[in-house]
Amino acid sequence: MRFNLRFCCWVLMTSQLSLCSSFLLSRRAIGSSCSCRDVGSRKNPPNSSLFERSGDDKNDESNNERPVNDLDIFGQPKSKQRRNIVDEGDIRGPDRIKSCIPYVLVMIDGDAFGKYIYERIPPLGTLDYVLLRPIVEGVQAAPFLGVVLFALFALGPRLTNQSREVRFNAQQAVFLDIAILFPTLIGEALVDAHLPRAFLEPAANFVWYTYVSAVVYCVSSNLRGKIPNQIPFISRAADTAIGPF
């Protein structure tokens, strides 16, 4: 009887131990499989590129965007603000025309030096006869009219509060007229000397080319809005005469 009880207890104990050992083995197997899955998931994370855009795809899309034409038909940027058209230069507006008027005095007093040139170049003679000769003859016919014009261009711009550019050109025209006065006096003094034409013609032509070149330079500069202050000696004297204002 005692032997049967002991045998039954031993069977129960061995069965319990076998159940416990099988349970422990199953727990270890489950734990090891879970750890393997965790390691695998860490080593090989789930690929989400199927649902998200990579950086290269984004760059490709940005590069494949349709280019925007920002140029006009002249090749200039459309966003560039166009500047308003204004008078550019040192001389502005009506002052450009006013600055050219005083040089008529130089053309009147120096017209006699172009006698030989007008003879050799008939078109210039015709142009002088039509445009300038009537004014020259009118000034010579009226006594003291040349002196009045000289004083008008010398003092008029200052008394009428003209701009500095107009006053500069008037003063420069007066100085050019004074420069022409010296060869005029020399020519009148040599009238009775009966010098040959081979001597008189080059001298007269030199004076004519010199003052005409100066007048053309001054008038063209004024019309372009630039102060004609590059005549040697005379421009500096005119600038000093009118002062800084």
209-222: b or e for each residue (b if 16 or more CB lie within 10 Å)? ebbbebbeebbebb
pLDDT of residue 30: 52
Using alpha carbons, list the distances in angstroms from residue 2 to 25, 63, 209: 34, 93, 158
pLDDT of residue 1: 45
pLDDT of residue 155: 87
Separation of alpha carbons 235 and 193, rounded Å: 35
Taking every pair of Cα atoms in the chain, the longest distance, rounded to a whole number of angstroms, is 184
pLDDT of residue 77: 64
pLDDT of residue 127: 93
Q: Which residues of the chain have pLDDT under 70?
A: 1-89, 245
Dihedrals phi, psi of 121, to nearest 5 degrees: -125, 90
pLDDT of residue 177: 93
Alpha-helical regions (H) of 160-196: 164-189
pLDDT of residue 188: 85
pLDDT of residue 23: 47
Nearest Cα to 166, choosing from 76, 75, 94? 94
pLDDT of residue 67: 63
The per-residue pLDDT for range 118-153, each reduced to its tens digit, is 999 999 999 999 999 999 999 888 878 888 888 888
pLDDT of residue 26: 52
